[in-house]
Structure 1
Amino acid sequence: MTELRLAKVRYVPAQLEPGVLYVSDEYKIAVHLCACGCGSKVPISLGPAGWSVRERNGKPTVWPSIGNGQLPCRPHYLITDGKVHWAPSMSSAQAVTALQYDHRRREAHYRDVRPRWWIRVWKTILGWIGLG
């Protein structure tokens, strides 16, 4: 597979069509069949702690690269303006490192988000008692 077209959906269909990147902005997920043609479903979470999908002229660009060392085919590729650009396959060690990086990135994002609501609550309480 050398190209993917973009399909904006609310719900990802049960049967995926090859060559289509299904994106649900509402549920912050994108799913497609592996670009190698093996038929594996490749889900990617969207958002600040996940991947981003941009659309230009109806064609998707996904950032960062898509690599899955857990699939038998060990795919690793970029999607830019709907075109699939293959990167070197990931070794087992690289797959583990990538998973650890993703985990740290999510932890950092949610760790940074948590204090915001707490600070707002604390400031509200201080305001109620006349100290804010």
Structure 2
Amino acid sequence: MSDVRLARVHYVPAALESGVLYVSDEYKVAMHLCACGCGSKVPISLGPAGWKITERNDKPTVRPSIGSGQLPCNSHYFITDGRVDWLRPMSAAQTVAALKSDHDRREDYYRDMNRKSLWWNRAWRRLLGWFGRG
């Protein structure tokens, strides 16, 4: 696969078409068949703690890179303006490091969100207390 087109969907279909990046904004997930042609489904979690997909001229760009180090093909690539830009295959150590980095990024994001939520809840309760409703 050398070109990727974007398909915005509510649900990702069970049968995927090669060369199509299916994006569900509602469920914050995207999926496509591995760019190498091996036929493996590659899920991409979206959002502040995941990948970001932008669109220009109906062509998707995905960041950071997509590393399929857990698949037998070990594919590693960017999708930029609908084009697959190949990177060196990921070694087992790089795959483990990338998975740990992804996990740590999600942990940090949700820990920070929890702190912000706790701060807001305490402030709200204090405000309600001032008005005799807390």
For the criterion TM > 0.5, the same-fold answer is yes
What does 1:9-88 align with in structure 2 at a 5 Å threshold? 9-88=9-88
Give the whole-Å Cα distance in 2 for the aligned partners of 1:86 and 1:128: 56
Give the CA deviation at 1:130: 2.7
Q: Report the aligned-residue RMSD.
A: 1.1
AA of the residue aligned to 2:6: L
Query: How many residues were matched structurally?
Result: 131
Distance in 2 between residues matched to 1:11 and 1:19, nearest whole Å: 18
The runs of at least 4 aligned residues of structure 1 exceeding 4 Å deviation read: none
Instruction: Please list every run of 5 or more consecutive structure 1 residues that lacks an aligned counterpart in the other structure.
Output: none
Structure 2 spans left out of the alignment, 5+ residues? none
1:48-91 alpha-carbon deviations (Å, 9 max, x no partner): 00000000000000000000211000110000000000000000
TM-score, with structure 1 as normaliser: 0.96
Q: Is residue 2:116 matched to residue 1:116?
A: yes
Shift of 1:29: 0.4
Deviations 1:83-113 (A, max 9, x none): 0000000000000000000011001100110
Residue type of the alignment partner of 2:78: L
Instruction: Give me the whole-angstrom Cα distance separating, in 2, the residues matched to 1:93 and 1:51.
Output: 21
Identical columns (%): 62
Quick one: which amino acid aligns to residue 64 of structure 2?
A: P
Amino acid at match of 1:45: S
